[in-house]
Amino acid sequence: MEKKIKVAIYSGTVPSTIFIENLIDGLSRIGLNIYIFGKKQSPAIKPKPNVKYILVPNKWVNKLGFILVQAISLIVKNPRRFLKLVSYHDSKLKNNYKDKINWFIRTLPVVNNLPDIFHIQWAKSLEEWIFLKDIFDTKLVLSLRGSHITYSPLSDERLAKNYVAHFPKVDCFHAVSLAIANEASKYLSIEKDIKVIYTAVDFEKLDRFRRTNRNVIKKFRFLSVGRYHWIKGYHYALTALKNLVDDGYSCDYSIIAHDKPSEELLYLTDYFDLKKHVNFINCKNQKEVYQYMKISDGLLLPSVGEGIANVVIEAMFIGLPVICSDLSGMEEIIIDEDNALLFESRNSKDLESKMKKIIDLKKEQKDKIVKNARSLIKKNHSLDRLSMEMKELYKNLT
């Protein structure tokens, strides 16, 4: 009988990002023993087969009790592990009282349930978990995703040095795109296995939001989804929108994010006289985001730095035509004018021309692009494919 691999996934918060939740769903279906560690968020957690959640309490009075229970449990089950953990803390870490408590809150439950493989979802947190390799020789897998690789180490010298110091200790890397893998390799002094496994989407869940209405559009509704950060390139989209409106095109632009719009975006919206055309939306949950996708006419990804954006994959499956910048990550899945439209990154004039093109496309042309996009996502971005490729990655380490 094949031994079940015990995998721990750490993301910081539970539930976490769509990518991590889809990964958990996929792995639970194929029978791996999955342990999820993190701080509980407000949404209710639905039980999944083969998945055990160990959640850190939010209130301080509960945290002290949590530490006590975890410490006693570890001392009883494996006192040597407990002594190693305490000794490591005393020799390596010099924190204040509050930081010490938070460190033990995060680490004690993991050491209490020491996995075969510890899968870290955010590169910035690798330094905190490297002790699992140093003192317990736990296999470490690190996901390479988004800003943690593309620009954070460029602006943070200390972070870049940590990557150089700790990346060689990681047993295997998982990258969401070839472009991200190439960026991460800059911080490796020795050759390491970097496995590219593309993100997946839940087809069953997204099918409920599939766009099927292709009637004549009176006002074209563009949509972007993502935090208000300079790397998202929204100012290029607003500049392009201004020119479209001036040229007589009837269109609106909505941006969905969890934070508040920056002063720059508010200023540009006012300066370009676009208040009647721009909406800044704060959605309560992911379901609302998908509902906006369903009623929109085109998704814009004007970013100046991405791996492969989840929102593009979701939009392509739902049937929302996509326009995105020609970043190396996005070019791995997009063929210009075949399954989406690409524009030159940071070039608002080129974005403007692609926005005009998507508005002016005949229904047959637009339907073909949408069909090709959906076919690509169904072929390469299923939960089954993600889980089987990740399972193979884990098996190769044990």
**pLDDT tens-place string over residues 309-341:** 899 999 999 999 999 999 878 889 999 999 999
Give CA separation, 264 vs 146, 235, 252, 271, in Å: 23, 8, 19, 10
Give CA–CA dist 361/223, Å, rounded.
18
* pLDDT of amino acid 1: 45
Judged against a pLDDT cut of 70, whether residue 215 lies above it is answered with no
Model pLDDT for residues 57-96, shown as the tens digit of each residue: 888 788 888 999 999 999 999 999 999 998 887 766 666 6
The SS3 call for residue 255 is strand
* Average pLDDT over every residue of 225-252: 95
Alpha helices in 280-347, H assignment, sequence order: 286-295, 310-318
Q: Is the pLDDT higher at 279 or at 40?
A: 279
Please state which of the ranges 47-56, 154-163, 346-355, 376-385 shows the lowest mean pLDDT: 47-56
Residue type, 251: C
Q: What are phi and psi of 198, to 5 degrees?
A: -70, 150
Residues 6+ apart with CB under 8 A from 139: 116, 117, 118, 171, 172, 397, 398
Can you tell me whether residue 25 is helix, strand or coil?
helix
| Residue found under tokens 């939009």 | 315
Alpha-carbon span 366 to 187, nearest angstrom:
42
Pair 143, 119: CB distance under 8 Å: yes
Adjacent-strand bridge partners of 131: none
- The pLDDT, as a whole number, for residue 26 is 85
Share of the chain above pLDDT 70, in %: 96
The pLDDT value given to residue 93: 63
What is the chain's length?
398
Q: Do 322 and 373 form a contact (C-beta atoms < 8 A)?
A: yes
Structure tokens that stand for 389 in this block: 């490729």
Amino acid 85 reads: L
Distance of CA 94 to the CA centre of its chain: 32
Q: pLDDT tens across 165-208, in order?
A: 999 999 999 998 988 998 898 898 777 778 999 989 999 999 99
User: What amino acid occupies position 335?
Assistant: I
Tens of pLDDT, residues 146-159:
888 888 888 899 99
Tokens of 335: 């063929």
Q: Where do we find the tokens 């072929």?
A: 379
pLDDT for res 87: 87
Longest dimension (CA), the chain: 74
Q: Residue 194 and residue 208: Cα distance in Å, rounded?
A: 35
- Phi, psi of 322, deg, nearest 5: -120, 140
* Crossing angle of the two packed helices 286-295 and 310-318, in degrees rounded to 10: 50
Distance CA 138, CA 95 (A): 24
